[in-house]
C-alpha cells in the first residue's frame, strides 16, 4: 500500500513539474515592429497636375509606373517605378510641389 501511495505522490509531482515547466516556457514575449505607413494607394490621375508631370518626367522612357501612394497628412506621394525590362525597381517620394524628398524628411 505504501508503494501505491508513493507512486501516486511521484506521479503527481511529475505532472505538476511538467505543467510548471510548460507554463514557464510558454511565457515567451514576442515583440514585433509596427510601422506607421500612412500611404494609401491612389490613381496617378487623382493627383494634381504638378505631381503627374513630375512622375512622368522621372519615369521617362526607362520606367513604368507600378504603384502610386499618397500620404494626406504629410502631403507626400510615393511612386514605385519598374524598369521597362523588368530588371529593376525604384521608389521615389515627392512633396506637393513635385520635388523629390528623402523618406525621413
Using one digit for the tens of pLDDT, what is the confidence trace for 11-58? Answer: 777 677 666 654 444 455 555 444 446 889 999 999 999 999 999 999
* Predicted pLDDT of residue 103: 67
For residue 26, what is its C-alpha cell?
Answer: 510558454
DSSP string computed for 41-78: E--GGGS-HHHHHHHHHHHTTTEEEEEEEEETTTTEEE
* Band of residue 77 on the pLDDT scale cut at 50, 70, 90: very high
Alpha-carbon span 40 to 17, nearest angstrom: 52
Q: Model pTM?
A: 0.60
Element (H, E) at 92: strand 89-94
β-bridge partners, 93: 78, 101
Q: Minimal CA–CA distance to 49: which of 98, 99, 104?
A: 98
Q: Are strands 40-41 and 89-94 parallel, antiparallel or unpaired?
A: unpaired
Alpha-carbon span 81 to 90, nearest angstrom: 5
Calculate the average pLDDT of the chain.
80
- Summarize the confidence of residues 51-72 as an average pLDDT: 92
- Summarize the confidence of residues 65-86 as an average pLDDT: 91
Amino acid at each position: 500500500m505504501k508503494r501505491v501511495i508513493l507512486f501516486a505522490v511521484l506521479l503527481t509531482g511529475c505532472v505538476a513539474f511538467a505543467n510548471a515547466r510548460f507554463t514557464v516556457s510558454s511565457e515567451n514575449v514576442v515583440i514585433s515592429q509596427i510601422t506607421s505607413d500612412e500611404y494609401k494607394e491612389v490613381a496617378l490621375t487623382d493627383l494634381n497636375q504638378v505631381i503627374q508631370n513630375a512622375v512622368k518626367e522621372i519615369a521617362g522612357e526607362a520606367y513604368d509606373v507600378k504603384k502610386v501612394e499618397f500620404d494626406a497628412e504629410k502631403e507626400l506621394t510615393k511612386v514605385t517605378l519598374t524598369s521597362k525590362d523588368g530588371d529593376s525597381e525604384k521608389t521615389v517620394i515627392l512633396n506637393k510641389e513635385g520635388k523629390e524628398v528623402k523618406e525621413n524628411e
